[in-house]
Amino acid sequence: MTESTEQKPNRVKHVVIVGGGFAGLNCAKKLAANPNVRITLLDKNNYQQFQPLLYQVATAILAPSNIAFNLRRTLTDHANVDVKMTEVVSVDLNTCMVQAAQGQQYQGDFLVLAAGSQANFFGTPGADENSYPLYSLHDAERLRSRILAMLESADRDPSLIAKGALNFVIVGAGPTGTEMAGAFGDMLQESLKKETSRKGYRDLAADHAQILLVDAGHAVLSAFSPSSQTYAAKVLAERGVQIRLGTTVKEVGGGHVVLSDGTRIPTHTVIWAGGLKAASLSNHLGIKTGRGGRIDVQADLTVPGLTGIYALGDFANITGKDGKPLPQLASVAEQSGKPLAQTAPCDCLGRPGTAADP
């Protein structure tokens, strides 16, 4: 008898992806093209948010529905992707098993950690309790309500202006803080113009409101080119934004902030765009994490010393070709999700591959 040369069908491999943001969603889409892969996508929300436009929701330029997209609908053409709305609270990296808040467990042959990020308050007293971060759709809606509430309160009782009702402090002059400051400046100027008082606030004037942009660095958009920094600073000044560089926030109180130069500013709205750290899941992995609580990964986005474990997006410290860490931006997260899909299917099919493959 001669042994049959007929190839046995490949066993379908299961990939569990934690996080449906730019990185996780794009990874799921690419993996789904492989019929030998089954994907379970886990996220605490049933939508993907377009984070770069959160500031437009916060300033009432866009409605929340304009930047939130249903995950199931996005993946409706991919029958091998199963979406579960649940929050992952712990991970067993040795068995590729995750535990959900409601008690369910999901185990895969491969595990992709793309749980995203959260605001990093860097231990600033009172910042967690008294400021308004801008890193999620919920944050943007909450901030929009706060801004409108302050305008309405000051319109109803102008004496509140002296107590800081119309002083708005934005912490962090990176992309999020700078975009928020510019859009907010436009919003306030339009709302408080006397010639449009029939639509706006009749008893308030533009000079009643102050927007302060505070950053420890020495330039707005410090990660960008000098020409971009100069242009951004000019545009912000035209919109009435006061820029305080080389300055940090030392305390955020219920009705004030204290800056590193000793200045005490009465305010009831502190917008936190001062930095990111990995989502809280990073505290429950049982491994040492790197800068910002993120997972240090290798060039192929695998976690050193572990088999079948990947980390990407804002949940990972990813190094660029120049050896420097890549920033926590949507574009980086999206691009990290795509090449990973080239690695995992290759592993599933028993073929070598790297995240850097074209």
The string of DSSP codes covering 136-188 is SHHHHHHHHHHHHHHHHHHHH-GGGGGGTTTEEEEE--SHHHHHHHHHHHHHH
Q: Are 126 and 264 in contact (CB under 8 A)?
A: no
Whether the per-residue pLDDT at 4 is higher than 60: the answer is no
Whether the per-residue pLDDT at 6 is higher than 70: the answer is no
Average pLDDT in the chain: 89
Q: How far apart are CA 278 and CA 288, in angstroms?
A: 13
Residue 341: per-residue pLDDT: 60
Whether the per-residue pLDDT at 36 is higher than 60: the answer is yes
Residue 354: per-residue pLDDT: 40
Residue 5: per-residue pLDDT: 46
More confident residue, 15 or 334: 15
Q: Which CATH class is domain 127-272?
A: alpha beta
Residue of 179, 190, 195, 238 marked catalytic: 179
Contacting residues for 274 by C-beta, under 8 A, at least 6 apart:
119, 120, 121, 122, 124, 171, 172, 177, 249
- The continuous run of DSSP H or E covering 39 comes out as strand 37-43
179 annotated active-site: yes
Q: Which CATH class is domain 13-118+276-348?
A: alpha beta
Residue 111: per-residue pLDDT: 96
Residue 339: per-residue pLDDT: 59
Per-residue pLDDT of 103-118, as tens digits, reads 999 999 999 999 999 9
Q: How far apart are CA 214 and CA 75, in angstroms?
A: 41
Please check whether the two domains, 13-118+276-348 and 127-272, share a CATH topology: yes
Q: With 0-12 CB in 10 A as exposed, 13-18 as middle and 19+ as buried, what is 336? A: buried
Dihedral of the alpha carbons of 337, 342, 343, 347, in degrees to the nearest 10: 130
Position 266, amino acid: P
Per-residue pLDDT of 131-174, as tens digits, reads 999 999 999 999 999 999 999 999 999 999 999 999 999 999 99
Task: Give residue for tokens 């709205």.
Answer: 269
Q: How far apart are CA 329 and CA 313, in angstroms?
A: 8
Domain boundaries, the chain: 13-118+276-348, 127-272
Q: How far apart are CA 167 and CA 154, in angstroms?
A: 11
Residue 88: per-residue pLDDT: 97
Instruction: Give the three-class secondary structure for 79.
Output: coil
Residue 357: per-residue pLDDT: 35
Per-residue pLDDT of 326-354, as tens digits, reads 877 777 777 776 656 666 545 543 433 34
Of the ranges 127-131, 207-211, 346-350, the best mean pLDDT one: 127-131
Range 179-197 average pLDDT: 83
Whether the per-residue pLDDT at 320 is higher than 90: the answer is no
CA 53 distance to own-chain centroid: 11
Per-residue pLDDT of 167-180, as tens digits, reads 999 999 999 999 99
Range 307-332 average pLDDT: 86
Range 13-25 average pLDDT: 95
Q: Rounded to two decimals, what is the model's pTM? A: 0.88
E strand spans, 231-347: 241-245, 249-252, 256-259, 264-266, 269-272, 276-278, 295-296, 309-311, 316-317
Instruction: Give the three-class secondary structure for 266.
Output: strand
Q: How far apart are CA 78 and CA 39, in angstroms?
A: 10
Residue 353: per-residue pLDDT: 39
Q: Are 220 and 229 in contact (CB under 8 A)?
A: yes
b (16+ CB within 10 A) / e for 296-307: bbeebbbbeeee
Per-residue pLDDT of 236-285, as tens digits, reads 999 999 999 999 999 999 999 999 999 999 999 999 999 999 999 999 99
Task: Give residue for tokens 């377009």.
Answer: 50
Q: Are 204 and 158 in contact (CB under 8 A)?
A: yes
